Amino acid sequence: MGFGSQFSVFALALLVQHSVAQNSTNSTYDVLQYVDQLIGSANGGMAKAVADCDAQSNQGGFTTEGALITGFSSMHDSGTGGNPSLGNFALFPYASCVGDDVDGCKYEKIQRKIPYVASSVKASPGYFGLQLSSGISVDMTTAQHTSLFRFKFPSTDAAGSGSPLILLDLTDLSDTRQDNGTISVDETTGRMTGNARFQPSFGIGTFVLYFCADFSGAPVRDNGIYVNSRASTDVKDLTLARSINGYPLPGGGFVRFKTPGSNGILARVGVSFISSDQACSNAESEIPSFDFDGTQKAANDLWREKISPITVSTTGVPSSMLTNFYSGIYRTMINPQDYTGENPLWESSEPYFDSFYCIWDLFRSQMPFLTILDPATIARQIRSLIDTYRNLGWLPDCRMSLCKGYTQGGSNADNVLADAYVKNITDGIDWDTGYEAVLKDAEVEPYFWSVEGRGGLDSWKNLGYIPVEDFDYKGTGTMTRSVSRTLEYSYNDFVITQIAAGVGAQADVEKYTSRSENWQNLYKADVTGGSLAGASVFTGFLQPRYLNKTWGFQDPITCSNVDPNPNSICSLQRTAGETFESSIWEYSFFVPHDHATLITKFGGPDAFVKRLDFLHDNNITYIGNEPAFLTVFQYHYAGRPALSAKRSHFYIPAYFGIGHDGLPGNDDSGAMGSFVAFSMLGLFPNPGQDVYLITPPFFESVSIKSQVSGKTATITNVNFDPSYKNIFIQSATLNGAPYTKNWIDHSFFTEGKELVLTLGRTYQGFGNFTGNSTSSNEKRAQRFSAVPINELNAKTGASYWASQEG
């Protein structure tokens, strides 16, 4: 998902004290100041409590756009595009009801919503709080499946009764509640239990969520239920239909209290996908004594443990850069979420993760980032993907709220599995079944390929591309995106070879290597770059093709960031074009596995670099959508890593700032955060391959402690310049020995190697692939990047590079 709205997630910050090994001084710093605007709990917890508001961009519940607060709820998916997810069973407080009558409070979301005090918003580790314009302060913290909300009431209450009321609404952010929403209120304790069925925000089917709310801090005065605008203390049980006019009938429960103490009233809300009983027992075991500070501290400790493997030298670096970096790292850890023990769909002893939202976004850098930061969690996520295949028949491409989400292009879980496989993520993973799952994606067409697998497989196998207006009777899906699907399926087939090689399936290596070349069948050498001024000097782009092998046409600029046609339709609509959320201009670069052929087709490294420059300089690419990520670093494959460094220093901070509007579009479940984190770390992955492309880190030094081996990898910049003028690598050493490659493999992390980069202001040829090596990685890099480069470079001369690279 790319074209979304503002980032709307709130932060849990943390305190990490550590020393920076590369610098003999003992540098300690407080990471609390560097994580901003986020919410949730590490990799994990289902409970991500925050205020819900009525802004257009309320996908994550709250935004700072000054919208009205509709309530406070426990579960959210952060930074997604599209419809808001979750936000179920919101609470809302009143200091009293008008006339001391329960009907004197407003119950319906649309009636009760009120502003908040902008300056009152606070977010820190496991904590979020604000003050409502009614004077009530609300703050919250979370454990894995439980949220704890604290309501503090103004000391002088205009209504005068001093009898606060807290309601619980059988609602969600997107108003998707179906029939049979149910609530029961216990007369004595005020405990509320119940459930409702909802729809996922970007998928098919429905799910049922259960809750259990308990209160502490003031004696219960009375309680009951409400429907529409009317409440009763006589009725304790309610079951509601959705209603007939498209909007769920407002309804829920409430508790009124006698005057609370100065600590206010605490509401503990447990959630479960299994039962209300499990929601109650989750809550009772996770937050037994309503201990707000203790719960918040536990969340702190978890974040400290999760983020502390990565440390940097802060010397000279503006704090905005540190905030950018650590906030990015934080956001990589919000999704997917660990729902183990909460999956009602099948019995299994395997982990269950949800909110793969969506793998099209996550495979490029978000999940690869977790592979270096939190490999144990990636292993559990891979096990969950494989277990989902085992039980539902297919790897998911997108999944949220226990439901199948929509596929955007390829079967990109294949890329995720291959990436983990080549990086030796093995812990508890049944790779035989994993391999079976990716083969099924490649060979068997699902009945409904809008939510899993791939469509058009007959054409894929027989024609070697996905045709426009395919004849596909074996499965159903949206018959668009033929160009971007061809490219993604080609890469999916390539990554299968990565696993095949490891499991000894040599015939499969050959078969899928051959199929990974299918993208070439849509390459049309005589097509020029389209209507944009200056673009016509570039020839050779992918183009759509019919079943009868004749060519169609899509202007290469269509669906780009600078598409002159405001009416282009570019997403999953039935009437959309042949590329998904981006242009042929950009997608033509999406051949992550065969740069040698791609660069040759584009006219050699010189022409390839000029084309990449044109893509970026003319805003054809949009860094707020994931297909842009690799293009920032693809200069490496033409032997020009210094240009990748220049580009990443352009996009950060130009497009990734630290303000509330500091992201280009939404965060896409941490994808943007991981782009920032990898870029600033100075190593960018080409996911599905054991390759990290080297650029100088944005810090004097960076250390990453492997949670697998316990060893610490470091990158040090000699001649580091915090104004980022020295961003060109002059020379490098790896563990003390000269190093000339512009990439490194994953053993850098697991074996705790030391890379020292000497920087300067001008390009001196580092990383231009002059070295030879017999290792298989080097062979792959040569095949996929650079064998002919040296001769070609010699022909084009050095002056062009000098002018480009400072």
- Residues in contact with ligand NAG by the rule CB under 6 A: 19, 23, 25-26, 178-180, 197, 315, 423-424, 546, 548, 550, 618-619, 690, 700, 745-747, 750, 764-766, 768, 770, 772, 790, 793-794
Please report, for residues 21, 667, 769, the alpha-carbon distance to residue 740 in angstroms, rounded to integers and kept in the order given: 25, 35, 7
Q: In terms of CB distance, is 505 or 787 closer to ligand NAG?
A: 787
Nearest residue relative to ligand NAG (C-beta): 765
Q: In terms of CB distance, is 150 or 746 closer to ligand NAG?
A: 746
The dihedrals phi and psi of 9, each to the nearest 5 degrees, come to: -115, 145
How far is the C-alpha of 381 from the C-alpha of 375, rounded, in Å? 10
Q: In terms of CB distance, is 668 or 745 closer to ligand NAG?
A: 745
Tokens encoding 770:
């002059």
How far is the C-alpha of 274 from the C-alpha of 350, rounded, in Å? 17
Q: How far is the CB of 745 from ligand NAG (least distance, A)?
A: 5
Q: How far is the CB of 28 from ligand NAG (least distance, A)?
A: 6
Q: How far is the CB of 118 from ligand NAG (least distance, A)?
A: 27
Q: In terms of CB distance, is 283 or 527 closer to ligand NAG?
A: 527
How far is the C-alpha of 231 from the C-alpha of 530, rounded, in Å? 63
Q: How far is the CB of 300 from ligand NAG (least distance, A)?
A: 19
Could you tell me how far CA 795 lies from the centroid of its own chain?
A: 43
Q: In terms of CB distance, is 594 or 805 closer to ligand NAG?
A: 805
Closest of 607, 687, 545, 642 to residue 598, by C-alpha: 607
Residues 8/672, Cβ–Cβ less than 8 Å: no
Q: How far is the CB of 796 from ligand NAG (least distance, A)?
A: 10
Q: How far is the CB of 500 from ligand NAG (least distance, A)?
A: 16
Tokens encoding 199:
């729809």
How far is the C-alpha of 517 from the C-alpha of 785, rounded, in Å? 15
Closest of 303, 371, 301 to residue 706, by C-alpha: 371
Closest of 92, 125, 32, 357 to residue 231, by C-alpha: 92
Q: How far is the CB of 792 from ligand NAG (least distance, A)?
A: 9
**What proportions of the chain, in percent to the nearest 5, are helix, strand and coil?**
30, 20, 50
In a 13 Å sphere around the CA of 102, the CA atoms on its Cβ side amount to 22
How far is the C-alpha of 317 from the C-alpha of 722, rounded, in Å? 6
Omega within 30 of 0 (cis) for the link into 722: no
Q: How far is the CB of 793 from ligand NAG (least distance, A)?
A: 4
Q: In terms of CB distance, is 550 or 575 closer to ligand NAG?
A: 550
Q: In terms of CB distance, is 179 or 510 closer to ligand NAG?
A: 179
Q: How far is the CB of 751 from ligand NAG (least distance, A)?
A: 7
8-state DSSP, 151: E
Q: In terms of CB distance, is 141 or 666 closer to ligand NAG?
A: 666
Strand order in the sheet with 207-216: 122-124, 127-131, 137-142, 146-152, 265-272, 207-216, 192-198, 181-185, 237-240
Q: In terms of CB distance, is 552 or 603 closer to ligand NAG?
A: 552
Instruction: State the maximum Cα–Cα separation within the chain, in Å, rounded to a whole number.
Output: 89
With tokens 């936000």, the residue in question is 87
Q: How far is the CB of 737 from ligand NAG (least distance, A)?
A: 15
